[in-house]
A and B are shown apart, each in its own frame.
Chain A
Amino acid sequence: MFLRMIRGAFTRQWKKMLMIALTIALGASLATAMLNVMLDVGDKVAQELKTYGANITVVPKSTSVLSNLYELEDGEAVSDEYLLESELGKIKTIFWAFNIVDYAPFIDTEVTLPSGAEAQMVGSWFNHHMALDTGETLDTGIQNLRTWWDITDGSWLDEQSGAGEDVCMIGTLLAQREGVGAGDTLRVQTQYGVKELTVVGVFDSGGDEDEQIFAPLDTVQALSDTDGCVASIEVSALTTPDNELAEKAAKDPSSLSIKDYETWYCTAYVSSICYQIQEVITDSVASPVRQVADSEGAILEKTELLMVLITILSLIGSALGITNLVTASVMERSNEIGLLKAIGATDGRISALVLTEVMITGIIGAVIGYFAGFGFAQIIGHTVFGSAIEMKLMVIPIVAILTLAVTLAGSIPAIRMLLRLRPAEVLHGR
């Protein structure tokens, strides 16, 4: 009998039930969309912040003491320490390899230009293609690490086009002074050799690099007789904002207890990534670029907090919306309940009947709402970040519990009010 009444409610009153299901679905979809976006926004914004360039620099142990300041004295045993080019692939083998978004090696030398002027020439990767031991491939280089460069003439140097080694890009200030543009050839000379380079592009960086020449790594190595050597590596990694543990570990990892050490090592703090890079690159010092690393942390934290608060507001909104409508639609049935009471139904049975109906509707609504909300989240992800929002499994129980709780919260006061009704009054139509 109970089941038949429930079935009857759904077949005969499907319009009302549909209304409840629809409201619950709307509320649930809002909750799902916001929760999914909130949980993923950290990763997405972190990815966007990568436009600020590298957040870790790696230099040889001894030059981290003596520095670029003494560049002018090159050759006098100052910059004799280098990192090994052959070890570059190892950066992608550390524990947090997946978080390493981009990296590029750098080597520089002074060259003499045809005008007689000296200029700094930097060798690096532009869009270097790497085949890793793990079977993965990776395209990385300064094209990704210098997103703020404006190419004012020509184009980015394409290492993969097979243009050979004798190509370069030149900073706009230097290009103006030397009177060269894209397509011209530039003769550069060092004590180790002479090269005729084709200028592929002129860039405006808004900084010191406007006075420099950028060429493929091999070209500069040949000109400075440093085959297989790199002077520094810039690494762009996705990191977790620092906390107390990370700060303590950054000072001295060996001061941590074993448990803390493991937590630290297995969290993508900028200090633990630096530590892991030092482990794989011989005689290196990896240090966070505080300008980038710290600001990333601050911005990520604020964005996440902002989204959490907006999510809470929309959760409250959808909860109130659902409660409202459930209350309204349960109270609407006073006639029917009065009749049931008149023919002898107990309070318990009536409550069970109404609750079961509402709950079934609620579950249907929540399922529809979950998928609709996931769709909304994807729309947000694609329009804003151009990538999909990851499906977080923990959203499902949250949405389920939330919907269940608010549906119950909406029906219980209404049911209690109905139970207080006197059948005679209701049926009489008052």
Chain B
Amino acid sequence: MTKRKFFLKMIATSLMRRRSRMLVALLAIAVGATILSGLVTIYYDVPRQMGAQFRNYGANMIFLASSNDANFTMEKVEQATALIDDGELVGVAPFRYESVLIHEQPIVAAGTNMEGAKATSPYWYINGEWPDERGEILIGEDEATYLGLKLGDRFTMTYAADEGQLAENGTTQAATLDMTVVGILETGGSEEEYVYISMEDLEALAGTEGDLDVVELSVSATQAQLSAYVDAISQRVPEIAPRLVKRVTESESTVLTKLQALVFLVTAVVLVLTMICVATTMTAVVTERRREIGLRKALGASDRSIIGEFMGEGLLLGGIGGLIGSGLGFAFAQAVSVNVFSSSITFQAWLLPLTVIVSILVTGLACLLPVRSATEVDPALVLKGE
């Protein structure tokens, strides 16, 4: 039997025979490793997940025409949004504003893409439904009160254009459209002062197509990344002047930094305490084997071989515990992510070796100290039971 085989056999039998004690130690290491990998995964995923939550605040970037005669159309907007990473783009809502007459009152009507508006302004509270067909209109609460309109009311909307504009379009009669109120919009902000119709309706009313006034974008990215997008877009698509909505971006980065710091510190505290727990468990396991160490010394084993064997056991336990823990930790992080953010988490491959290495290190260190002090003991004293 070679020396190495003997070494392995000793470790294996030691683990097998003292099964229950080793299971206890293994459990401690696995729990520690679970917490390590679980929390670190969450820590790395929090900014992404929380960032998505912050998109509730609505658009954080707007596109404007870079100059009055710039060709600011949907194609240009598509060129610009192509520069933004698909996964980060939450929503794009183009807006075009025109004056219209409802019950002979001048009102500003916004033409938009309702799907886009739903994505960029999740905080819009709609009494009724979102318009999804032409001829349906969403009315701001202020205007609804002012005009005395209720859900389901029908009316005719006229394009408020002066004669010169009409002549340009080649007619003398301002265009009209029949509209049905399907929703009343409540935001507590200036949005309540407008009425919203589909872009096609507004274009039909105004007689011109393609022009936009402003485009709202909701992008889930860090402030630095947003600034990079702004630079890239203003260079590549000169017709568009992108601007960040500072109120949203600045506040978001402040709060997000704090949240990440919170998870970081909590992770650190939990980790330190768990590591100490693992270490104390290992220390206890080793300390109670002083008799065995004494016996082996009496039989002539060198300190080095004793330390080597104990360390081998510890490292094996650490490795297995780390592996189990990585799996459980990922499962935990996944459960948290699904429950809290209802989206799944990305697997951080580098966490697996990290967890295993840290578990091995902690277990190794926890074994080393008591084994060393045990080897310094006189075998005769230990064996006699003093």
Is A379 a contact of B265 with CB atoms below 8 Å? yes
Is B188 a contact of A293 with CB atoms below 8 Å? yes
Whether a CB of chain B sits under 8 angstroms from the CB of A148 is yes
* A68, A307, A317, A325, most chain B CB atoms within 10 A: A317
The CA of A51 and the CA of B273, in the complex, are separated in Å by 34
Residues in A with CB closer than 8 Å to B259 are 45, 303
Tell me which of B50, B121, B146, B283 contacts A66 (CB under 8 A).
Answer: B146
Is A325 a contact of B57 with CB atoms below 8 Å? no
Known A68-B190, A147-B251: A26·B35 in contact at CB below 8 Å: no
Whether a CB of chain A sits under 8 angstroms from the CB of B193 is yes
Whether a CB of chain A sits under 8 angstroms from the CB of B294 is no
Whether a CB of chain B sits under 8 angstroms from the CB of A227 is no
Interface size class of B (residues with CB under 8 A): 35 or more
Residues in B with CB closer than 8 Å to A329 are 284
Whether a CB of chain B sits under 8 angstroms from the CB of A23 is yes
Whether a CB of chain A sits under 8 angstroms from the CB of B54 is yes
Residues in A with CB closer than 8 Å to B346 are none
Is A302 a contact of B340 with CB atoms below 8 Å? yes
Is B277 a contact of A23 with CB atoms below 8 Å? yes
Is B246 a contact of A205 with CB atoms below 8 Å? yes
Is A68 a contact of B193 with CB atoms below 8 Å? yes
Contact stretch, chosen from B26-34, B306-314, B360-368:
B26-34
Whether a CB of chain B sits under 8 angstroms from the CB of A288 is yes
Tell me which of B124, B146, B284 contacts A325 (CB under 8 A).
Answer: B284
Known A22-B280, A30-B269, A207-B247: A41·B262 in contact at CB below 8 Å: yes
Whether a CB of chain A sits under 8 angstroms from the CB of B288 is yes
Q: How many residues of A contact B (CB 8 A)?
A: 70
Is A69 a contact of B108 with CB atoms below 8 Å? yes
Contact stretch, chosen from A103-111, A119-127, A308-316:
A308-316
Tell me which of B142, B270, B340, B341 contacts A314 (CB under 8 A).
Answer: B270
B100-125 interface mask toward A, CB cutoff 8 Å, 1 = contact, 0 = none? 00000000100000000000011111
Whether a CB of chain B sits under 8 angstroms from the CB of A258 is no
Whether a CB of chain A sits under 8 angstroms from the CB of B11 is no
Known A309-B339, A332-B284: A52·B142 in contact at CB below 8 Å: no
Tell me which of B54, B188, B245, B336 contacts A290 (CB under 8 A).
Answer: B188
Residues in A with CB closer than 8 Å to B188 are 56-57, 287-291, 293
Contact stretch, chosen from B38-46, B64-72, B150-158:
B38-46
The CA of A317 and the CA of B121, in the complex, are separated in Å by 41
The CA of A33 and the CA of B284, in the complex, are separated in Å by 26
Residues in A with CB closer than 8 Å to B163 are none
CB closest chain-A residue, reference B329: A313
Residues in A with CB closer than 8 Å to B262 are 37, 41, 380, 384-385
Distance between A125 CB and nearest chain B CB, rounded to angstroms: 19
Distance between B103 CB and nearest chain A CB, rounded to angstroms: 15
The CA of A294 and the CA of B269, in the complex, are separated in Å by 32
Residues in B with CB closer than 8 Å to A148 are 246-247, 249-251
Residues in A with CB closer than 8 Å to B284 are 19, 325, 328-329, 332
Residues in A with CB closer than 8 Å to B193 are 67-69
The CA of A290 and the CA of B57, in the complex, are separated in Å by 9
Distance between B193 CB and nearest chain A CB, rounded to angstroms: 5
The CA of A56 and the CA of B274, in the complex, are separated in Å by 44
Is B243 a contact of A206 with CB atoms below 8 Å? yes
Distance between B240 CB and nearest chain A CB, rounded to angstroms: 17
Known A317-B31, A328-B285, A380-B269: A19·B280 in contact at CB below 8 Å: yes
Extra contacts, 14 of them, besides A33-B269, A318-B274 (Cβ < 8 A), are A68-B193, A147-B251, A206-B245, A207-B246, A294-B56, A302-B53, A310-B39, A313-B38, A317-B31, A317-B270, A321-B277, A379-B265, A384-B261, A384-B265
Q: What 7 A-B pairs have minimum CB-CB distances, sorted nearest first?
A: A206-B246, A321-B277, A295-B56, A148-B250, A289-B188, A51-B251, A294-B123
**Interface pairs (22), CB distance under 8 Å:** A30-B269, A30-B274, A34-B270, A41-B262, A45-B258, A57-B189, A64-B142, A206-B246, A206-B249, A290-B188, A299-B56, A314-B273, A318-B273, A318-B274, A321-B28, A321-B278, A321-B281, A324-B25, A324-B277, A328-B281, A384-B262, A385-B262
B positions within 8 Å CB-CB of A:
21, 24-25, 27-28, 31-32, 34-35, 38-39, 42, 46, 49-50, 53-54, 56-58, 108, 121-125, 142, 145-146, 186-190, 192-193, 243-251, 254-255, 258-259, 261-263, 265-266, 269-270, 273-274, 276-278, 280-281, 283-285, 288, 332, 335-336, 339-341
